[in-house]
């Protein structure tokens, strides 16, 4: 049996998981993701339980839809000027959105003892880049494609080395 088959989520996950409160405004979500140099994060309720995942893609889709609405309205009504109230409403609606309004659901997640192979299968099957690792309903880590590839790379480069050693800390 090779060492990779013995690895599970808790061996390769990033333990300092950045979470986003469901009621955090989208501007603050974008700032948090950028500040931590991550492309997505679990969304949690007031008790710290996972309720969704928000990603750069979710934010970009939302931004695109608010930019597209005035263009669609222009197209629909010809080239007449839009009522200022409509533009103000679109702008205000976009600013009032929270993480919980745009997050992806249901959440695909893993337990701490989920085998590495199962983690990779979940990511490929669901076309996702990150898997929150839960203890109960609370995020205790996150596994990214990079975490999995790093573990595989370390095993190939140094078969006797423990790839989980670099993730602990």
pLDDT grade, residue 59 (50/70/90)? Answer: confident
Residue 51, H or E segment: strand 50-55
Res 109: pLDDT? 95
Domains, the chain, ranges and CATH? 3-166 (3.10.580.10)
β pairing state of 40-44 and 50-55: antiparallel
**pLDDT classification of 2: cutoffs 50, 70, 90:** low
Query: How would DSSP label each residue in 112-153?
Result: TT-BHHHHHHHHHHHT-SEEEEEETTEEEEEEEHHHHHHHHH
- Over residues 30-56, the pLDDT tens digits come to 899 989 999 899 999 999 999 999 998
Residue 66: its pLDDT value, please?
A: 54
Please give the average per-residue pLDDT across 105-117, as a whole number: 95
Residue of higher predicted confidence among 15 and 69 = 15
Give me 142's structure tokens: 């996150």
* pLDDT at site 167: 53
| The dihedral sign for the CA sequence 7, 9, 12, 15 | negative
Q: Looking up tokens 């602990």, which residue turns up?
A: 168
Q: Token pair for residue 17?
A: 């998981």
* Mean pLDDT of the chain, nearest integer: 81
pLDDT more than 90, % of the chain: 52
The three-point CA angle 58-27-96 to 5° equals: 90
């Amino acid at each position: 049996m090779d060492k990779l088959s013995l690895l599970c989520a808790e061996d390769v996950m990033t333990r300092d998981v950045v979470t986003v409160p469901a009621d955090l405004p989208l501007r603050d979500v974008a700032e948090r993701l950028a500040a931590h140099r991550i492309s997505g994060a679990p969304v949690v309720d007031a008790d710290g339980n996972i309720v969704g995942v928000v990603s750069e893609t979710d934010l970009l889709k939302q931004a695109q839809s608010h930019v597209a609405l005035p263009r669609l309205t222009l197209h629909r009504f010809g080239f007449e000027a839009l009522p200022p109230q409509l533009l103000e409403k679109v702008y205000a609606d976009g600013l009032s959105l929270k993480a919980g309004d745009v997050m992806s659901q249901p959440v695909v997640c893993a337990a701490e003892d989920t085998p590495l192979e199962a983690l990779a299968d979940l990511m490929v099957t669901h076309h996702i880049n990150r898997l929150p690792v839960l203890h109960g309903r609370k995020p205790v880590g996150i596994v990214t494609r990079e975490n999995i590839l790093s573990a595989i790379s370390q095993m190939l480069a140094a078969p006797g080395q423990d790839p989980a050693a670099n993730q602990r800390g």
